[in-house]
Amino acid sequence: MKALVLAGGSGTRFWPLSRQLRPKQLLALEGDRSLLQATVDRLQPLVEPQSVWVCTTRALADAVRRQLPEVPPEQVLAEPMGRNTAPAIGWSLRSMPEEARAGVVAVLPADHRVADAAAFRDALERAARAVEMDDLVMTLGVVPRWAETGYGYLELGEGLGASDGGVRRVARFVEKPDAEAAARFLASGNHLWNAGIFVFRGTMLLAHLARLQPELARGLEAIAADPSRVDALYAGLPADSIDYAVMEKLAATGDGAAAVGTVPLDCGWSDLGSWAALAEVLPKDAGGNAGRGAVGAIVAVDAGGNVLVSDGGEGVVAVLGVHDLVVVRTADAVLVCPKERAQEVKRLVAELALAGREDLL
Amino acid sequence: MKALVLAGGSGTRFWPLSRQLRPKQLLALEGDRSLLQATVDRLQPLVEPQSVWVCTTRALADAVRRQLPEVPPEQVLAEPMGRNTAPAIGWSLRSMPEEARAGVVAVLPADHRVADAAAFRDALERAARAVEMDDLVMTLGVVPRWAETGYGYLELGEGLGASDGGVRRVARFVEKPDAEAAARFLASGNHLWNAGIFVFRGTMLLAHLARLQPELARGLEAIAADPSRVDALYAGLPADSIDYAVMEKLAATGDGAAAVGTVPLDCGWSDLGSWAALAEVLPKDAGGNAGRGAVGAIVAVDAGGNVLVSDGGEGVVAVLGVHDLVVVRTADAVLVCPKERAQEVKRLVAELALAGREDLL
């Protein structure tokens, strides 16, 4: 199996720790390894680093190569610019050697968390068998642990294929639900979280792209024909997600020969979508404060339920009498907001951009 | 008039901005001048810097001299250690030239704020006239602006003296009251805040000390007789406040010849006793956030009533959706606590001391 790791993200949800040139996937939010490194680590021994491709942006390519010295540097592919996941996956597959993309390829976001790597690899293997035996396009669906409204869902259909791996048809890709629908999904047992993890034969995915997204496919062919024109051509590719461009359409129209299948994944997965999501997986003190920082870098008195992060140097985060806050210290910035509003951190980043503080973005 | 500025304090209420070697009086909490510098500035032209003495500790003496280059360096007196205000005042008066302490001396804490310096000097002048004409020991009493429970009060007695400056006898020094008593004091119009500012003839204060605190007076004489023994002798001085050692006793027993008088002071005085007290005097943004920091160093979205301080370098304090908090950033530390618990910051400093973080104290 080959792996294609998507590492071009540039989100602001972990500001001030994340910056334009140090986005989430390059950060070590737990432990010592960055999310990108952990993504590659957990594939072994199923996929060795020599079989890993990484799609990132030009601005990040050097940093990615430094973080992944065991991945051949020419397999770190640098997009001229971010154009969403359909161009990234299509262009990366076209950039891989033909024999690589003719095999089974797993597409993995670089910025997710997995607690149980063995369970994760097991699900990948079951998906790979379904690809090989039944020519399916597979996606891993996470067994929901609560009625999350921040994720999309996969609605399950009938059993599929001969691989005997518990594969179910994806009847429908469901957008982020409201709280009532999310509760219904959780109770039904018939929905999985859409984790954006796919397993397919590369050549087959490109064939689906050619059929479903002819404009994108023509652009990719033009780039392949004259790579020197990549900057101009890439900027013109339709910037759609792979879900929208291919998966939802396959699920809606696919017959037995072009269906999307899924296997359930139960491995302590999180997309670490915000400081609040990180809090759920960090170690906690007696007061329920989730902390990240050197020993002695966090002091909490009469404080509970906070996320306390101290990064850079010998400094300290000291809190007294506060609850359910996010407090993040870096060498040059401090963030304070309620945990329940951690999704809005981008508003602060936008303010800083307006104020001309490029040094902090 | 001479001035004796008490600048030996080592409080922790403005941590992390204040440190053991950079205590509150050396900080510029508003504007560009430290509280110590502002204390000397506002005396002019009533008391020129050549007529100012400063009592501080050995650890701080160099920093005090650097901040006050216009004060003769030998007039910055360095106590071997802090022993409260009675030893500091007694020893400083004994260390001044005889002709200086024979005149009128104003004793001033180095870490208070005064908005109206002219009104402050006017009150000092009225107090000085009462000292010269009626041999009183004078204290300035601040006209209360709210029912503060964090200050001691002066209970007013009858009019005193011939100076015609509205001098009233201090009938009693009142400890910090509870909320009910504070409200009663405010309504009565018969109480002033005790600001710890005194005006007296130095020789007369020493005579009162000799009578009321003979042990302290003997210690001071022994130091004067053999200054080389100051370290050992100073450590043995009774560590009382001047209020307890002299003022309260004079007020309780003083007859016409040994009374404590007061003139009211209405000059925007604050003792800046905490981050919350500082918030009341700092400029505020539209959301009511009191800020201190360089332009662009503070970003607040959907946040109000906070005290936001960014100190050191180009860094930023960014808050979202929080209210009535204290958030202070220095190069090596961050403090977050509710404004109403700003008095408890010392608990965090104590925790850091226990954790062996001397670098942050």
pLDDT on residue B292? 85
The architecture in CATH of the region B2-265 reads Alpha-Beta Complex (3.90)
Q: Locate tokens 């604050």: which residue? A: B270
In angstroms, rounded to a whole number, what is the distance separating the alpha carbons of residues B170 and A294? 55
Angle between helices A214-225 and A85-95 (to 10 degrees): 40
pLDDT on residue B83? 93
- Evaluate if residue B121 carries a pLDDT over 80: yes
Q: How confident is the model at residue B318 (pLDDT cuts 50, 70, 90)?
A: very high
Nearest CB to B348 within list A299, A325, A335: A299
Contact A320 B344 (CB under 8 A): yes
pLDDT on residue B31? 85
Contact A316 B347 (CB under 8 A): no
What are the chain A neighbours of B338 within 8 Å (beta carbons)?
A: 320-322
Q: How confident is the model at residue B162 (pLDDT cuts 50, 70, 90)?
A: confident
Nearest CB to B320 within list A299, A333, A337: A337
Which residues, listed in sequence order, are joined to residue A168 by a DSSP beta bridge?
A: A159, A262
Below-70 pLDDT ranges, chain A: 163, 254-257
Contact B351 A322 (CB under 8 A): no
pLDDT on residue A160? 86
Does residue A94 sit in helix, strand or coil?
helix
Contact A344 B301 (CB under 8 A): yes
- Evaluate if residue B294 carries a pLDDT over 70: yes
Q: How confident is the model at residue B258 (pLDDT cuts 50, 70, 90)?
A: confident
Q: CA torsion sign, A134 to A136 to A142 to A148?
A: negative
pLDDT on residue A342? 95
How do residues B15-44 score in pLDDT, each as one tens digit?
999 999 999 999 999 889 999 999 999 999
Which residues, listed in sequence order, are joined to residue B174 by a DSSP beta bridge?
A: B153
Torsion of CA A70, A75, A80, A85, to 10 degrees: -100
Of A334, A333, A270, A280, nearest to A305 (Cα)? A280
In angstroms, rounded to a whole number, what is the distance separating the alpha carbons of residues A68 and A230? 25
Q: Can you tell me the mean pLDDT for B191-202?
A: 97
Nearest CB to A338 within list B299, B321, B348: B321
- Evaluate if residue B254 carries a pLDDT over 70: no
pLDDT on residue A253? 82
In angstroms, rounded to a whole number, what is the distance separating the alpha carbons of residues B128 and B121? 10
Q: Can you tell me the mean pLDDT for B178-192?
A: 96
Q: Strands (DSSP E) along chain A, which ranges?
A: 2-6, 52-57, 76-79, 104-109, 137-142, 153-159, 168-174, 191-201, 260-265, 290-292, 298-301, 307-310, 316-320, 325-329, 333-338
The residue of B317, B336, B347, B361 whose CB has the most chain A CBs within 10 angstroms, and thus the best one to mutate to test that interface, is B336
Q: Can you tell me the mean pLDDT for B247-271?
A: 87
pLDDT on residue B147? 94
Torsion of CA B91, B92, B96, B101, to 10 degrees: -90
Q: Locate tokens 């790579």: which residue? A: A227
- Domains of chain A, by residue range, sit at 2-265, 275-360
How do residues B67-114 score in pLDDT, each as one tens digit?
999 999 999 999 999 999 999 999 999 999 999 999 999 999 999 999
Contact A301 B345 (CB under 8 A): no
Nearest CB to A357 within list B296, B301, B321: B296
pLDDT on residue A137? 95
